[in-house]
């Protein structure tokens, strides 16, 4: 079952600068900075009520975030939905005809396992499913 919007992922040029912007905007402090080497990305998280903002900076030119920034520039990169059973959701959404980028969950940032859906089957928005480890 999909429970809520877990976070919004935002692609940024500089994580240090964007942390300052969002800390001021939200009146809260970034609680975690974490690098996900397999994705070529450095992430920073800020809590907003029940949801979070995830800032994403590329750590190498082949990173999906580097490619996104090149094509579209800074901005919303993905929406992440919290699930109680990610494998069941992957199975359900595959049956419903959605194109999954990850057919089995993988390790993500902030203590989650994750899977992405291809934006071409979700109205142009990259969708992430996530579940607490
Ligand atoms: Zn995310």
pLDDT at residue 38 in the model: 84
Expressed in angstroms and rounded, the spacing between residue 46 Cα and the centre of ligand 1 is 12
Segment 29-50, tens digit of pLDDT: 999 999 998 889 999 999 999 9
What are the angstrom distances between the C-alpha of 77 and each of 36, 62, 95, 102?
A: 16, 16, 25, 17
In terms of Cα–Cα distance, which of 10, 15, 108, 13 is closest to 52? 10
Q: Which residues pair with 115 in a beta bridge?
A: 129
pLDDT at residue 111 in the model: 92
In terms of Cα–Cα distance, which of 102, 109, 101, 106 is closest to 53? 109
Query: Mean pLDDT throughout 8-28?
Result: 98
Expressed in angstroms and rounded, the spacing between residue 110 Cα and the centre of ligand 1 is 9
Segment 61-91, tens digit of pLDDT: 999 999 999 999 999 999 999 999 999 999 9
Expressed in angstroms and rounded, the spacing between residue 8 Cα and the centre of ligand 1 is 7
Expressed in angstroms and rounded, the spacing between residue 38 Cα and the centre of ligand 1 is 14
Residue 85 contacts by C-beta under 8 Å, 6 or more apart in sequence? 1, 131
Examine the pLDDT at 119 and tell me if it is beyond 90: yes
Distance (Å, whole) CA 133 – CA 49? 21
Rounded to an integer, what is the distance from CA 101 to the centroid of its chain? 13
pLDDT at residue 39 in the model: 87
């Amino acid at each position: 079952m999909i429970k809520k919007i877990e976070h919004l992922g935002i692609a940024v040029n500089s994580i240090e600068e964007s942390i300052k912007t969002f800390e001021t905007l939200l009146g809260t402090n970034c609680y975690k900075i974490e690098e996900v080497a397999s994705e070529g990305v450095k992430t920073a998280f800020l809590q907003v009520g029940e949801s979070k903002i995830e800032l994403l900076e590329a750590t190498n030119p082949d990173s999906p975030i580097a490619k996104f920034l090149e094509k579209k520039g800074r901005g919303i990169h993905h929406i992440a939905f919290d699930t109680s059973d990610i494998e069941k959701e992957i199975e359900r959404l595959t049956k419903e005809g959605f194109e999954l980028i990850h057919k089995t969950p993988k390790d993500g940032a902030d203590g989650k396992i994750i899977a992405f859906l291809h934006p071409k089957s979700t109205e142009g928005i990259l969708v992430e499913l996530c579940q607490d480890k």
